[in-house]
Structure 1
Amino acid sequence: MTTFDAVLPLVTQVLHEHASGLPAIGPLLVNRDLNGRIRLIVEEARRTDPVVMAALTSICDQLQQRLGPHAYPATRAVLFESDMTAALDGATAFPLEGFEQVRVVDRLATESDWAHIAPESTGVPRVVFFSIKGGVGRSTALAATAWSTAQAGKRVLVLDLDLESPGLSSALLPAERRPTYGICDWLVEDLVDNGDAVFADMTGSSTLARDGEIWVVPAHGRDPGAYVSKLGRAWMPKMQTNGQRESWSQRLNRLIDALEARWQPDVILVDSRAGIDEIASSCVTGLGAPLVLLFALNGDQTWSGYRMLFQHWLNAGVAEEIRNRLQIVAAMVPELGAPEYVDELRELSFDLFTEELYDQIPPGEIIGERWNFDLDDEGASHAPWLIRWHRGFAALRSLHSRLETVDAQEVQAVFGHFLNGLNNFTGSEISPS
């Protein structure tokens, strides 16, 4: 019985067996529809070529036999398009390994597009805080980073994009300083060209800043209102007046650009949704962030989750576009057995990057765009930035009051190694002195 994971390997196998006929077919799209069924898309001009039609008939017969329910009947397995570019519109597409002329078009039921890596943003640095699972201290680390950056006299813009589990704003803003609206409100209002009505009152200033400023854009406003109903519409694409479709990721970028122009921050910190979903994909791959922090606990769930994501980038042919933006963070390093814990986490992280994202060349050598690193290279993506577990920072609920009384020495003890890594990235002092 053929299942989903076997489909593309079997397609590859069939196309290799018909390699001699592929040049006549020309550009070929392997279209995987919303149900996971395979069709081929070929240029309309090839329809009248008997050599091409014979090759396509043979290929489709084999696909029907080998793919079973994941293939269309051979008589309906080919679509002819006059504009092959239009056939790619709104879909994830990636090369089929081993074939220069063949691309896979993956139709997804969600706006999630982990295979599209946005170019690095040209404005101020954007740092995304991401984790495969929740409960790893990601939002706490972001709050501490904002506090430390502001202590160094910088202007910080914080976005709570964990829309389905909001809470970062309560860590940085007292109740009386929370704005009327939030990101979810803007996304919904923007669908009806009413975003300006909420834009001016969706940012709150934190009292935690001393020498600098912390501006917080929460997931929702002071009164969430009909939040569940709004959330169900927040990531809708928008049809512009010129007929063009704007994805929710593009809309989000437009919002961040406007916030950056309004507040002129030195750095933008983004709290991403955990897991592999639409919101997370936009944060990790769609915002053009030059640094994506991958929070990790030393457990099977962490490494299996990141491996699935890395393999997806590798299979989609975009690994080289994203890998140098990634940085592993060892979250909540235990007080007891810390050296052993960190050593094991480093080794597992190294294995993951080596097997999935690093090039197969001698460690430490850079050949053109190809790169690799030694296990102990502190500048490598796999080398973890450490955050130590501390009882006083374990509960996000009390973090605002905690940061009101915390001193730089205590923050340095818990987050120092992590903040030093951010210092090296931004080229400016954000770690407490």
Structure 2
Amino acid sequence: MTTFDQILPITTEVLADHSDKIAQLEWLVINRDLNGRVRFIAPEQSPEDEARHADVKAVYQVLSERLAPHAYPVDAGMLYEANLELACQGASHYALNGFDNVRVVDRLATEANWARIAPETDGAPRIVFFSIKGGVGRSTALAATAWSLAQAGKRVLVLDLDLESPGLSSALLPPERQPMYGITDWLVEDLVDNGGAVFDDMVATSNLSHDGEIHVVPAHGSEHGEYIAKLGRVWMPKIQADGTRETWADRLGRLLQALEARVQPDVVLIDSRSGIDEIASACITDMGANLILLFALEGEQTWNGYRMLFEQWQRAHVAEQIRERLKIVGAIVPELDRVIYLEGLRENAYSIFVDTLYDEIAPADPAAIGPTAGGDGKWRVDDLVEGWNFDEADEGAPHYPWAVNWHRSFAGLRSLQGRLASIDAQEVQAVFGTLIGGVRDAIDSRSAS
């Protein structure tokens, strides 16, 4: 009896055994429906060519028998469309390993699409704070980063997109400054073309702003109202007047563009929900993020989660589109044995990056490189090694963690607002300095380019 995880390996094997027949097709779609059953979708002209039609049908017959119960009987398992675009119907798809003309399409109950990576935004840098598991101090780190950037004169736009566990705004805004509405209100009102009614009252300026500004867009407003009822509707797609369908992630992107046009920020900080769900998918893959901070605690739960995510990008052939934007953040690094803890974190992160995202080419050994490599008296790995890879000890590598040290003064969001209002900059530096410095460098390098 076949299980879901065996579908693609068996499909690849069966198609390889009949590669001569598959090669005759312009394209072929392996369609996995909501129940995890497979169909073939082939060019509609196939039935007109009886021999070719019989060949494809014969291949599906073999596959259906191998995949049972994850396939249909032959008569129900063969579909035809005029072109590949119609066959995919807007769903995410990727090439089956070893076959340039075969695409895999997954029909999902949700619109989370980890395999579609939006290009980086050209405007103000968008930085996403994300974690596989909650309780890692991600939102606290974002608040401290926003505070520090504002201290340095930056205009910061902060979005609380942890919609199912909101709270970031309380760290940056006292109760009397909370706006009337939030992101959830806009997403619901937008469904009935009423987003404009709440847009002007969903952004507030933090009292923590000094030389710069912190503009906060909360998950909900000062009066949350029927928040649970609204939350169940934010994921809805919108059917436009011309009949086109706009996904909730695209609606969210439209809101972000409108907020950027209004605030004109120097940087956008986005607090994503933890886990692999709709919100996280939109924040990481759909918002054009320039830097994605992956908060990590040392432990199997963290690394198993990131491995699953990285393997999905690898499987969908989109790893190269996102891997250079990633950076591991060592969350809540303990006071005792910090060096040992960070070494373990780095080793485990490196192992996963090597297995999934880095190219399979080891970096050159600097000791073996002459002093004139590159013609300028300096050695550069790029001069000598093809592929995208890093040494484990390379501090600039995505796997090398930026440390956020544990400190009792920053142990809770509820008390953070008052804490930041009177905090000493040196204390922030001691806890969040590496993270804040890395974010500043990312902003400055983007401005320079």
Question: Matches of residues 156-167 of structure 1 in structure 2 within 5 Å?
Answer: 156-167=156-167
Q: CA deviation at 1:57?
A: 2.0
Report the equivalent of 2:397: 380
Cα displacement (A) at 1:337:
0.4
2:43–2:80 Cα contact (<8 Å) kept:
yes
1:154 maps to which residue? 154
Instruction: Identify which range, 420-429 or 187-196, moves more after superposition.
Output: 420-429
Match of 2:367 in 1: none
Amino acid at match of 2:356: E
**Equivalent residue, structure 1, for 2:371:** none
Measure the CA separation in 2 of the matches of 1:49 and 1:369: 46
Residues 105-124 of structure 1 mapped to structure 2, 5 A cutoff: 105-124=105-124
Deviations 1:81-110 (Å, cap 9, x if unpaired)?
123212212311011000010000110000
Shift of 1:265: 0.7
Deviation at 1:26, TM superposition (A): 2.4
Q: What's the offset of the Cα at 1:76?
A: 1.6
Return the TM-score normalized by structure 2: 0.94
- Give the TM-score of the pair, scaled to structure 1: 0.97
Residue in 1 aligned with 2:293?
293
The answer to whether residue 430 in structure 2 is matched with residue 413 in structure 1 is: yes
Map of 1:38 onto structure 2? 38
- Structure 1 position 415, deviation (Å): 0.6
Quick check: 1:329–1:418 contact (8 Å CA) kept in 2? yes
How many Å apart are 1:149 and its aligned residue?
0.4
Match of 1:402 in 2: 419
Structural mapping, 1:318-337, within 5 Å:
318-337=318-337
Please identify, of 339-348 and 360-369, the stretch whose mean Cα deviation from structure 2 is larger.
360-369
Does the residue aligned with 2:215 lie in a helix, a strand or coil?
A: strand
Conserved? CA contact 1:129–1:272, under 8 Å: yes
Return the offset for 1:25. Answer: 2.6
Answer yes or no: is the 8 Å Cα contact 2:180–2:222 preserved in 1: yes
Contact 1:130 1:292 in 2 (8 A): yes
- Percentage of identical aligned residues: 60
Deviation for aligned residue 1:23: 2.1
SS in 1 for 2:68: helix
Instruction: State the Cα RMSD in Å.
Output: 1.5
Distance (Å, rounded) in 1 between the aligned partners of 2:445 and 2:58 = 62
The yes-or-no answer on 1:250 pairing with 2:250 is yes
Shift of 1:369: 7.9
Is the partner of 2:332 in helix, strand or coil?
Answer: strand
Q: Where does residue 375 of structure 2 map in the other structure? A: none
**By how many angstroms is 1:47 displaced?**
1.1
**Regions of 4+ moved over 4 Å:** 364-369
Report deviation, 1:272: 0.1
Alignment of 1:161-240 (within 5 A): 161-240=161-240
> Distance in 1 between the 2:263 and 2:238 partners?
26
Moved more, 18-27 or 326-335: 18-27
Structure 2 match to 1:346: 346
Letter in structure 2 aligned against 1:59: V
SS in 2 for 1:194: coil
**Mapped contact 1:18–1:55 kept (Cα < 8 A):** no
| Equivalent residue runs for 1:93-112 within 5 Å | 93-112=93-112
For 2:386 and 2:196, locate their aligned partners in 1 and report how far apart those are by CA, in whole Å.
Answer: 43
Judge conservation of contact 2:361–2:386 (CA < 8 Å) in 1.
Answer: no
Per-residue deviation, 1:428: 7.3
Aligned equivalent of 1:306: 306
Aligned ranges 1:3-42 → 2 under 5 Å? 3-42=3-42
Distance, in Å, in 2 between the alignment partners of 1:84 and 1:418 is 44
Is the 1:31–1:40 contact (alpha carbons within 8 Å) kept by the matching residues of 2?
yes
Taking the aligned partners of 1:249 and 1:299, their CA distance within structure 2 comes to 31
Distance change (3 Å), C-alpha of 1:102 and 1:428: closer
- Contact 1:24-1:51 at 8 Å conserved across structures: no
Gaps of 5+ in 2: 365-380
Tell me, in whole angstroms, the C-alpha distance in 2 between the residues paired with 1:316 and 1:303: 20
Q: Which amino acid aligns with 1:134?
A: G
Rounded to whole Å, the distance in 1 between the matches of 2:162 and 2:98 is 39
Q: Give the aligned partner of residue 82 of structure 1.
A: 82
Distance, in Å, in 2 between the alignment partners of 1:419 and 1:263 is 22
**1:171 touches 1:396 (CA, 8 Å); kept in 2?**
yes
- The match for 1:241 is 241
Q: How far apart are the structure 2 equivalents of 1:154 and 1:369?
A: 38
Counterpart of 1:218 in structure 2: which amino acid? P
Q: In structure 2, do the counterparts of structure 1 residues 338 and 56 end up closer, same or farther at CA, with 3 Å as the change threshold? A: same
Q: Aligned to 2:232, what secondary structure does the other structure show?
A: helix
SS of structure 2 residue aligned to 1:98:
coil
Q: In the alignment, residue 358 of structure 2 is paired with which amino acid?
A: Y
Q: Give CA deviations for 1:19-39 in whole Å, capped at 9, x if unaligned.
A: 011122321000000111000
Which segments of 5 or more consecutive residues in structure 1 lack a partner in the other structure? none
Separation of aligned partners in 1, 2:415 and 2:302: 26
C-alpha displacement at 1:186, in angstroms?
A: 0.3
Match of 1:56 in 2: 56
| Residues 381-390 or 74-83, more deviating | 74-83
The one-character-per-residue Cα deviations of 1:237-271 (angstroms, maximum 9, x if unpaired) are: 11111111111111111101100010111100000
Say whether the 8 Å CA contact 1:156–1:269 is kept in structure 2.
yes
Partners of 1:375 and 1:428 lie apart in 2 by 23
**Which SS does the other structure have where 2:24 is aligned?**
helix
Residue 107 and residue 188 in structure 1: after superposition, are their counterparts in 2 closer, same or farther (change >3 A)? same
Q: In structure 2, how many angstroms separate the alpha carbons of the residues matched to 1:192 and 1:261?
A: 22
| In the alignment, structure 1 residue 276 sits paired with structure 2 residue 293 | no
Provide the C-alpha distance between the structure 2 equivalents of 1:413 and 1:260, rounded to a whole number of angstroms: 31
